[in-house]
A and B are shown apart, each in its own frame.
Chain A
Amino acid sequence: MTKFSAFSLLKNAVTGNRGWTEQWPDAEPKKEYDVVIVGAGGHGLGAAYYLAREHGITNVAVIEKGWLGGGNTGRNTTIIRSNYLYDESAKLYDHALDLWEGLSQELNYNVMFSRRGVLMLAHNVHDVQSFQRHVHSNRLNGVDNTWLSPREAKAFCPILNIDESARYPVLGAALQRRAGTARHDAVAWGYARGATARGVDIVQNCPVTAIRRGPDGAVEGVETGRGFIRAKKVAVSAAGHTSVVMESAGVRLPLESYPLQALVSEPVKPCMPCVVMSNAVHAYMSQSDKGELVIGSGTDQYTSYSQRGGLPLIEHTLAAICEIFPTVTRMRMLRKWAGIVDVTPDRSAILGKTPVPGLYVNCGWGTGGFKATPGAAHVLAWTVARDEPHPINAPFTLERFTTGRLIDEAAAAAVAH
């Protein structure tokens, strides 16, 4: 594997770019591993990377039913922020943001993390009060967040419509300057490259059909499309399919899987310097480095495993986008798709141990798992390696749905994560 540097770029540029080698090998599964991770998205690959890098556990396989990064890692709108209301969430997402800032250097792979700022629009009095509360709460937790007047918001994002007679008037906005976007595929590729360089196996096109438990109840391994793979520990990080996989181990989770849709426009010259989110009308937009406007909507109303979603929701989202950014009304949309997101009743993740010895779970990220990728992967690796949660993910237990100690971001953050 080539190490990327100015020198290696230059050398390959003058020699016809024929010297580049494979970035990660596709592995055939061995019969036995210390740790098997189900799901080769950013979270699963990252956990494998940190297991090898920080805990010296390299006999690890990441097993993926499709292709690497082909699930929600490749389907999100790449927004990264940490302005969550509650202490538990703020710590978790800010931990991720700390790791995002050094990730390209750490992985020697450009994940194109861009701190372009995320602007959250307030359209009504409730939004104003709620976002100002967020700003204060964030500052107490050391998370940067600032309140902007409509004119300041327009100065930050010039294509914003702040006309008082607008369908969705802008009464102000919360701006997290440290937030931004990253290249989603590169995150999966970078972690895969770093993990395999340390001895981790990545097995693609190999569905995990069941988790096998021994007579003592502990995990023995996973049944896959390519036979049984023995493992001392199994960590499931399978997004919308987590509840299906976990049910085979007898663990029922408080999850429901919904389609979450996104779409991109034709590429145009730079017109949007930041990310804008409008939680009240479920419309999210930023511009990719290719020039496409990347637009996200809310989840469809019904549970589904079809990575498709319904057109009425797209129409609703685009109607809102056209009102907020009148300049884009005649843009053509190129592609739309959906990812299947696993939503918990309190809209916070479940990350930690399960009642089954040796079985760990990382799920329930709902509509906002991408931003957490490095942080979730980091604390998941810690939890698996030490068989106890990291202080950051300790509150995100499965037991909270029995004790009632919920982390109720659903009500606090309106809807979007």
Chain B
Amino acid sequence: MLLIHCPYCGETLPELEFAYAGEAHVVRPDPSTASDEQWRDFLFIRSNAKGPHAERWRHIHGCGRFFNAVRDTVSDRFLATYPAGTPRPDLSLSEDER
């Protein structure tokens, strides 16, 4: 069972309260100028990182809000969670420096 910290509720809760929502920070290209390759990258290509992976989660059985997380996909350990719309934290820095 994963234990996930909701950055809005400020609580660490079991994975049953959350829904996974795919890779985070995937930016939609400008529809008026995007090429087929850009659409492919946006729609289908994902980093599928082995190691730290930025991803979206939703606290469906809590506040209902989306947030982002960095999770190590080898150990499944959560390295950080942060509100949607904020940049991916630099995990090489200490918590105070971020």
A residues neighboring B (CB under 8 Å): 241, 243-244, 252-257, 301-306, 308, 310-312, 345, 401-403
Contact = CB atoms under 8 A, between A and B. Distances in A.
B37 A402 contact: yes
Given A254-B45, A304-B76, A312 B55 contact: no
A301 B19 contact: yes
B45 to A, nearest CB: 5
A241 B74 CA distance: 12
B44 A310 contact: no
Interface of B: 1-2, 15-16, 19-20, 36-37, 39-41, 43-46, 48, 50, 53, 55, 71, 73-76
B46 A254 contact: yes
27 contacts: A243-B48, A244-B48, A254-B40, A254-B45, A254-B46, A255-B46, A257-B48, A301-B20, A302-B55, A302-B76, A303-B48, A303-B53, A303-B73, A304-B73, A304-B76, A305-B74, A306-B73, A306-B75, A306-B76, A310-B2, A310-B15, A312-B1, A312-B15, A345-B43, A401-B43, A402-B36, A403-B36
B37 A252 contact: no
> Interface on chain A toward B: helix, strand, loop, or mixed SS?
loop
Contacts of A345: 43-44
A303 B55 contact: yes
A351 B51 CA distance: 26
Nearest to A308: B76
A301 B55 CA distance: 12
A254 B53 contact: no
B74 A401 contact: no
Given A306-B76, A310-B1, A244 B50 contact: yes
Nearest to B35: A402
